[in-house]
Chains A and B, each alone.
Chain A
């Protein structure tokens, strides 16, 4: 049963990844500015050179043909060449991927550590002033633009992963806090506490199983949040990761790079959320 579920997930994953790549290619292709190159504003360029720049863009005009060729190349390990950076996409992703992976992983770990610590304490203590304080802290972080948090991390020589953590934390905290608060208000947990059952036991055996699937869902989407947060953090902190690459590619309408990055992000998102789904289903089955 589990194997069948896993196989089905894998097939779904592949179909969605391929669809995601195609839709992203279509979005980029249809967006204005695709057919132009900033270079053509150079007054030194001759008409023939400007036309050559346009022709280079027009090669990818037919989105079906472009995508088919991309898939054929990808099957042989060739992810194409970046139009803006003139380097193989595979090399770019390979060089920059590990940095983003480290940043996002550390940022997520920090964000969840902070969120769980504050959410658990707020849910258990249920003191109005404490709740107001944690709300204020998370609210303040939510209101500070991501670019400002990134700039502050540069100003104070803090790691980029901390900036990502501070961007993701308030979002994760609110969901986590509400879910845990709801769990702790359930009658059977109130009874258990009244009867003197240990807090650790209550948390692990009674609260977490109730909200486990939802917390896992939050964990899954927090991966997307962290990947999204990586873009301004890397761009501003001068970190040569995937996020910085994605921003450059978007500005330059770099179709080969954008499609591959979207496929990568879709894959990561799907893996995270599918993993959360599978574990959540297992938890629900156990509960049943």
Chain B
């Protein structure tokens, strides 16, 4: 009889202990879960890597942005460089050396301490020629090896073999990896860390419990508990899911969807103004291209290219294809690039009469609605572009009609991307092409491989042994001047002149700069879409989602 009360007593004690444990757990859990909710959006492609040093595609870059800790961060809103893991930094006068003073007491997500050794290790790995990293190649301004010097636990200097223009800004892309952690590149310093990955379906990021940053009120960042990234290449499906509330934001919204959403829910859409992206048309000027000789003569003629440029109605392209969410392009850089854009340049107005007169002065004749050259060849060429890009397909069709007005017959051919690249870079079996530049750097040094005549990506006539024209030689000289100078005024002058030459000679016929369009659910607090990538989640550590499912 006496055993029962004892049992009850023991059970009572046990129950109280369990209850107490539950309460503690709840409180801890409450502290752990900031209550910021889960942010959900889509990646357009499968991420190829989670190694921040090997990032080469947009999806992997987004994950790197959210998980990687960087020494300095380019504030996407103010476009100013801000300290992050580095408290301060100094670039030497010759632009070859940078010294960082690091914050102390910072841990990687797995608890490994962060120090100058990690920075040195990261840079050595990044600049390993065998890695072939696009991030690393951005630092490569000359031959020779990089030198890293760990001055103290919190100080490190990095010396490059040649001056690197805009050196400090490049570190915005360098996510520091641990030299000592057993978890290698999965140990991160950013606000989130990869928690789960279902190939083809989802990437789940959870809050980094060791993230070093706090807000002004001393509250631990990030506010969000997690971010779920669904892999969804189709924009129609992404839009459907956004409307149903299954995703919280669309980072890059098509113009037609923007208008449809704006009509029903204007508070959800954001037009941040002209982005840095551009769309352009160019002609094949490669001497060994397997196209007819008389066509090569046309394409290599500056007057011909400028006439074509004058015949294209850029206003219509902006208004029709982009529903007014774009503006005619003036030159290589968008006016959104406030410092580097040459404000003296203006978009070329559409004037078919001027275009025709210019062509006639070159010996072209309009006969029965067909333009013919001096030798009597009808002016006909093809424009290729990548299939699946509706804006480019529509622009090509509109340009086809614009040029028809001056007697030029254009055939529009859409190709799958690998076939297009093959024609553009290997066989050179094309006549004209419409493509665009996206995720463009603010600093023109990021486009050295476009403007140098010897470079691979000098699209209209790549890999020239020596510049084939005097204006390309001049562009080469000016780009080298701006790359080797630390004086921003001198660099600006040089690049302004590059922009002027490009507009005068028209190797690229710049069409439009589209606006940075995005959509953000009202449940997301703190969002402030900008033009620089990532437009909507650049401040992910300070976002919250109300009433998340």
Chains A and B directly touch (beta carbon < 8 Å): yes
Residues of A within 8 A of B (CB): 31-50, 52-53, 84-87, 92, 95-96, 151, 154-155, 235-241, 244-245, 248, 251-253
Asked if A41 contacts B134 (CB within 8 A), the reply is no
The complex places the Cα of A155 from the Cα of B243 at a distance, in Å, of 10
| In the complex with contacts A33-B416, A151-B237, A44-B200 CB distance below 8 A | no
Contacts of B448 in A (CB 8 A): 43
B48 at interface by CB-CB < 8 Å: yes
The complex places the Cα of A37 from the Cα of B233 at a distance, in Å, of 19
Asked if A44 contacts B201 (CB within 8 A), the reply is no
| In the complex with contacts A43-B457, A49-B137, A154-B237, A32-B200 CB distance below 8 A | no
Asked if B137 contacts A46 (CB within 8 A), the reply is yes
B240 at interface by CB-CB < 8 Å: yes
Nearest CB of A to B414, in Å = 14
B110 at interface by CB-CB < 8 Å: no
Nearest CB of B to A168, in Å = 22
B232, B240, B241, B418: which contacts A32 (Cβ < 8 A)? B418
B470 at interface by CB-CB < 8 Å: no
Nearest CB of B to A236, in Å = 5
Asked if A53 contacts B132 (CB within 8 A), the reply is yes
Q: How large is the interface on B (under 10, 10 to 19, 20 to 34, 35 or more residues)?
A: 35 or more
B46, B198, B422: which contacts A248 (Cβ < 8 A)? B46
Q: Which of B230, B420, B427, B449 has the most CB of A within 10 A?
A: B449
**Ordered nearest first, which 8 A-B pairs have the shortest CB separation?**
A240-B200, A33-B418, A49-B132, A46-B137, A44-B134, A240-B201, A36-B421, A33-B419
Contacts of A46 in B (CB 8 A): 137, 140, 449
Task: Knowing that A44-B134, A46-B137, A248-B46 touch, tell me 5 more A-B residue pairs with CB under 8 angstroms.
Answer: A40-B456, A41-B425, A45-B449, A48-B129, A238-B237
Asked if B421 contacts A38 (CB within 8 A), the reply is yes
Within 8 A of A (CB), among B389-430: 416-423, 425-427
Asked if A235 contacts B234 (CB within 8 A), the reply is yes
Contacts of A95 in B (CB 8 A): 199
Residue of B nearest to A252 (CB): B418
B49, B426, B449: which contacts A43 (Cβ < 8 A)? B449
Residue of A nearest to B234 (CB): A236
B146 at interface by CB-CB < 8 Å: no
14 sample A-B contacts, Cβ–Cβ < 8 Å, listed by A number = A32-B423, A33-B416, A33-B419, A34-B418, A35-B426, A41-B425, A42-B134, A43-B446, A46-B140, A47-B456, A49-B133, A155-B240, A236-B234, A237-B237
Contacts of A236 in B (CB 8 A): 234, 237
The complex places the Cα of A148 from the Cα of B5 at a distance, in Å, of 71
B46, B137, B240, B437: which contacts A44 (Cβ < 8 A)? B137
The complex places the Cα of A82 from the Cα of B234 at a distance, in Å, of 22
Residue of B nearest to A87 (CB): B199
Contacts of B416 in A (CB 8 A): 33, 251
The complex places the Cα of A86 from the Cα of B448 at a distance, in Å, of 29
The complex places the Cα of A96 from the Cα of B423 at a distance, in Å, of 34
Residue of B nearest to A37 (CB): B421
Asked if A33 contacts B422 (CB within 8 A), the reply is yes
B515 at interface by CB-CB < 8 Å: no
B231 at interface by CB-CB < 8 Å: yes
Nearest CB of B to A103, in Å = 13
| In the complex with contacts A40-B425, A44-B135, A44-B137, A251-B417 CB distance below 8 A | yes
The complex places the Cα of A248 from the Cα of B416 at a distance, in Å, of 12
The complex places the Cα of A45 from the Cα of B237 at a distance, in Å, of 33
Contacts of B418 in A (CB 8 A): 32-34, 36, 38, 251-253
Within 8 A of A (CB), among B441-456: 446-450, 455-456
Asked if A49 contacts B134 (CB within 8 A), the reply is yes
Within 8 A of A (CB), among B34-72: 46, 48-49, 56-57
Residue of A nearest to B420 (CB): A33
Asked if A35 contacts B422 (CB within 8 A), the reply is yes
Nearest CB of A to B74, in Å = 15
The complex places the Cα of A43 from the Cα of B455 at a distance, in Å, of 9
A45, A53, A86: which contacts B49 (Cβ < 8 A)? A86
B504 at interface by CB-CB < 8 Å: no
B268 at interface by CB-CB < 8 Å: no
B133, B140, B422, B455: which contacts A36 (Cβ < 8 A)? B422
B468 at interface by CB-CB < 8 Å: no
Nearest CB of A to B330, in Å = 20
Nearest CB of B to A177, in Å = 34
Nearest CB of B to A14, in Å = 30
B107 at interface by CB-CB < 8 Å: no
The complex places the Cα of A189 from the Cα of B200 at a distance, in Å, of 52
Nearest CB of A to B126, in Å = 12
Residue of A nearest to B137 (CB): A46
Contacts of A86 in B (CB 8 A): 48-49
B138 at interface by CB-CB < 8 Å: yes
The complex places the Cα of A169 from the Cα of B447 at a distance, in Å, of 53
Contacts of B57 in A (CB 8 A): 39
Contacts of B267 in A (CB 8 A): none
The complex places the Cα of A241 from the Cα of B200 at a distance, in Å, of 8
Within 8 A of A (CB), among B181-206: 198-201
Q: Which of A44, A85, A235 has the most CB of B within 10 A?
A: A44
Nearest CB of A to B167, in Å = 15
Contacts of B94 in A (CB 8 A): none
The proximity string for B residues 453-485 relative to A, scoring 1 for CB distances below 8 Å and 0 otherwise, is 001110000000000000000000000000000
Contacts of B200 in A (CB 8 A): 96, 239-241, 244-245
The proximity string for B residues 231-272 relative to A, scoring 1 for CB distances below 8 Å and 0 otherwise, is 111101100110000000000000000000000000000000
Within 8 A of A (CB), among B499-515: none
Nearest CB of B to A27, in Å = 14
Contacts of A45 in B (CB 8 A): 132, 134, 137, 449, 456
The complex places the Cα of A86 from the Cα of B49 at a distance, in Å, of 8
The complex places the Cα of A145 from the Cα of B200 at a distance, in Å, of 24
The complex places the Cα of A235 from the Cα of B241 at a distance, in Å, of 15
Asked if B455 contacts A47 (CB within 8 A), the reply is yes
The complex places the Cα of A46 from the Cα of B457 at a distance, in Å, of 10
Residue of B nearest to A237 (CB): B237
The complex places the Cα of A154 from the Cα of B449 at a distance, in Å, of 42
Contacts of A87 in B (CB 8 A): 199
A39, A92, A252: which contacts B199 (Cβ < 8 A)? A92
The complex places the Cα of A32 from the Cα of B420 at a distance, in Å, of 9
The complex places the Cα of A63 from the Cα of B506 at a distance, in Å, of 42
Contacts of B420 in A (CB 8 A): 33
Contacts of B132 in A (CB 8 A): 45, 48-49, 52-53
The complex places the Cα of A35 from the Cα of B421 at a distance, in Å, of 10
Nearest CB of B to A33, in Å = 3
Contacts of B241 in A (CB 8 A): 154
B137, B140, B421: which contacts A41 (Cβ < 8 A)? B421
Q: Which of A34, A37, A50 has the most CB of B within 10 A?
A: A50
Residue of A nearest to B455 (CB): A47
Asked if A84 contacts B48 (CB within 8 A), the reply is yes
Asked if A238 contacts B48 (CB within 8 A), the reply is no
Contacts of A252 in B (CB 8 A): 418
The complex places the Cα of A44 from the Cα of B200 at a distance, in Å, of 28
Nearest CB of B to A124, in Å = 41
The complex places the Cα of A238 from the Cα of B230 at a distance, in Å, of 8
Asked if A43 contacts B447 (CB within 8 A), the reply is yes
Asked if A85 contacts B46 (CB within 8 A), the reply is yes
B133, B199, B427: which contacts A240 (Cβ < 8 A)? B199
The complex places the Cα of A83 from the Cα of B413 at a distance, in Å, of 28
| In the complex with contacts A42-B134, A45-B134, A251-B416, A238-B232 CB distance below 8 A | yes
